[in-house]
Amino acid sequence: MKKHFNEDLIKIILSIFLLLISFLFKDNIKLILLVISYIIISYEMYIEMIKNISKGIIFDENLLMIIATLGAFYIGSTLEGVLVILLFQIGEYLSSLAVNKSKESITSLMSLKINEISIVHNNEIKTMSPEKISINDIIVIKNGDRIPIDGVVVEGNTHLDTSSLTGESLPRSVKEGDKVLSGYINRDNVIKIKATATYKNSTTQRIIDMIEKSEDKKSNYETFIRRFSKIYTPIVVLLALLIVLIPTLIGCNFNEWLYKGLVFIVTSCPCALVISVPLGYFCGIGRASKEGIVVKGARELESLKDIDYLMLDKTGTITEGAFEVTKIDTKMNNNEFLKVIASAETHSNHPIAKAIKEKYNKELFDVTNYKEIPGKGISCKINNKDILVGNNKLLEDNNINFNKSNDIGTIIYLVENKEYKGYLVISDKIKESSKDIKLLKEVINKEIIVLSGDNNNIVEDISKKIGIKKHFGELLPLDKVSIVNDYKEKGKVLFVGDGLNDAPVIKAANVGVSVGGIGSDATIEASDAVLMSEDINKIGNAIKVSKLTNKKVTNAIIFALAAKFIVLLLAVLGLSTILLAVFADVGVTLLVVLYVLTILYVKI
């Protein structure tokens, strides 16, 4: 894409001026003015053509246009030759402006760049570049400031505008202890946050990186168009030669058929296809970002349009992941029972472990021989006792005699020296946004399924409450991968999860989505898209954007090919001119560019 728009505009204006002035003169002076006009508007095309030929790229739009104009000069149509290049450059300039505008629109959705921030250093407030911020630095966020780095509120309370990341219009209330993401805007009181990431690893920088890298991931359409253009352009030149040579060899007028060949070449330029298809997908990625989901590339966006099975992780995806201890059943002292379990969970960052530690919230026992058993629980030593803390699978694997609880919730059992000591129940809340998934049911072709490592009874209860019939519980990460692979044989699978343990499943699915901007590096790296809010219905919007983008791009291709075919037919019949051919190339390009830009604005 062109960058120096002012320079391009000056050349176009100067070329037009000389062309208009030429009408005041005749013969040699007129010819000289037209040639100068032509040189001003076309010399960069000659340079670009020579560079491309040196790289082995011979057949491109530059070569086609130069052949057409030189041919026009040869048959004495100097004015028409200048107009061909001039109109082509005007079209290119307007298309470049439109493309640049779309990219500005996309990157300004979040106005991500922040130049300096205020931090607390030795009880003084200093300003510095966000790139210099370290983890645990205290940052002051004033009213109207954009949060530069992911962090936790350590002082104050306020309301944040999260729309640039999540697409949500309602402000979010935050207080001490709440997590905040870079990109949010403070709309109320002054707060202080402690940085939990560096600038490079913060949410906004990750989004910028994803959008910048998205252009490297081509859709099937883009891949086809690029291959098509490499074959198509040489064929066009060959057909143009045949259009000129065959009639000439049988006695027809050379200049007449040369003109028809030139019209054929100009009409056949694949600019509309080469520009509009990647631009359409880039606009789709921008629109999805506006709706609160960052898609990593055109290929991933394209894949969203025909999802057959949507598979949802439960904890943190459907539910809030805000657990609390709701029941304790033990013959031990409740406080002592809690202390042992909380001590065993001391090294775990799982939301359930946090809920238990918050419930006890006192000094813990020392823990040795700590071992986390994925999908089952923890084994360790406390006060020289062998401790098992986890679900029923952990106890069954260790041949522990116990009474299995039928409570609805996550059941955590305690075993000391092979002796069963009791259990506690952890409950989770369904997110408000998960209670109505009508939009998801509308856009998914076949079925929505819940996958969880939690107890079957809990998974069944949660699934019924939100209207999902199919569910699988008590799954290890590899079990989830196996289920995803089984369903991939029946159709296209989209999996949504939020934890580190979901990374293998996200990678296994046809399309993997991680929830919430703070997700682990491994989960985000494995995913094809990142849901910036915790509202799973946003995935429905992303699927709609994918379908809209595919429809617009398909329509643009059909229109461009139809317009070119009609003008090519007219050219062969001798009913077209080079100027009409320029419209079939440049005019159609501009029209399809403007058409695909509507992806950013139309209602989905």
Written as six digits, the tokens of 437 are 């998934």
Q: Which residues pair with 194 in a beta bridge?
A: 138, 152
- Angle at which helix 220-249 crosses helix 61-74, to 10 degrees, equals 20
Homologous superfamily of domain range 324-427: Calcium-transporting ATPase, cytoplasmic domain N (3.40.1110.10)
- Per-block mean pLDDT, blocks of 10 residues, the chain (604 long): 64 91 89 92 88 78 78 80 80 68 53 68 80 87 85 90 63 85 84 87 68 57 65 79 90 86 78 76 83 82 92 85 84 93 87 84 91 89 94 93 86 95 88 87 93 84 91 86 93 84 83 70 71 84 93 91 83 77 78 86 84
Instruction: Give the CATH number of domain 117-145+151-196; options: 3.20.20.450, 2.70.150.10, 3.10.20.70, 3.60.60.10.
Output: 2.70.150.10
Give the single-character DSSP code of 3.
-
Please give the pLDDT value at position 4. 47
Please give the pLDDT value at position 533. 76
Please give the pLDDT value at position 412. 93
Please give the pLDDT value at position 444. 93
d(CA 351, CA 361): 15
Please give the pLDDT value at position 110. 44
Written as six digits, the tokens of 431 are 């997110």
d(CA 58, CA 56): 6
Contact of 531 with 513, CB cutoff 8 Å:
yes
User: Does the annotation count 313 as an active-site position?
Assistant: yes
In 3D space, the residue among 452, 426, 494, 462 whose CA is nearest the CA of residue 313 turns out to be 452
Number of helices and strands in the chain (H, E)? 21, 22
- Is the pTM value of this prediction over 0.75? no
Choosing from 8, 137, 150, 313, which is the catalytic residue?
313
Domain ranges (residues) in the chain: 5-107+213-282+547-600, 117-145+151-196, 283-319+431-544, 324-427
d(CA 573, CA 100): 38
Cα-Cα-Cα-Cα torsion 319, 324, 329, 332, nearest 10 degrees, comes to: 150
Please give the pLDDT value at position 109. 47
Written as six digits, the tokens of 241 are 């030669």
Strand pairing of 529-531 and 293-295? antiparallel
d(CA 377, CA 137): 34
Q: Which residues pair with 325 in a beta bridge?
A: 426
Please give the pLDDT value at position 220. 66
List, as one string, the DSSP characters of 408-428: SSEEEEEEETTEEEEEEEEE-
CATH class of the region 283-319+431-544? alpha beta
